[in-house]
Amino acid sequence: MLAYINRASWEKSLETGEAHYWSRSRQEIWHKGGTSGNVQKIKEIYVDCDNDTVLLKVEQVGGAACHTGYETCFHKQVGPDRGITLVGERLFDPERVYGK
């Protein structure tokens, strides 16, 4: 998954050992998994060459990082004909986890 992180959510992530991002729509710190219970336990942290991107390697509680219930947000593969194939399995039903 890809998400925004700012200084406040970065600090929260380091303090707690669980991934916190920055919700641009809600303009608040987003504790990933706070609603679903599918938190991300941080195992390794990397910053990139020009220090503006962070890579978190995590243990994904529940197995699914994506709010759609898939393991990864990148579950739509683009074929040579530009067609989309869904890859991976859905690990939870979003309606059950988040309500309708």
Interface ranges with its own copies (CB under 8 A): 1-2, 14, 44-50, 53, 55, 66-68, 70, 73-78, 82, 84, 87
Output the smallest distance, CB 25 to its own copies, in A.
11
Output the smallest distance, CB 80 to its own copies, in A.
9
Q: Considering the complex, state which of residue 50 and residue 95 has its C-beta at the smaller distance from its own copies.
A: 50
For 30, counting Cβ atoms within 10 Å of its Cβ (0-12 exposed, 13-18 middle, 19+ buried), the class is buried
Output the smallest distance, CB 62 to its own copies, in A.
16
For 80, counting Cβ atoms within 10 Å of its Cβ (0-12 exposed, 13-18 middle, 19+ buried), the class is exposed
For 13, counting Cβ atoms within 10 Å of its Cβ (0-12 exposed, 13-18 middle, 19+ buried), the class is buried
Q: Considering the complex, state which of residue 8 and residue 47 has its C-beta at the smaller distance from its own copies.
A: 47
Q: Considering the complex, state which of residue 8 and residue 14 has its C-beta at the smaller distance from its own copies.
A: 14
Output the smallest distance, CB 34 to its own copies, in A.
18
Distance CA 79, CA 99 (A): 33
Strand, coil or helix: what is 1? coil
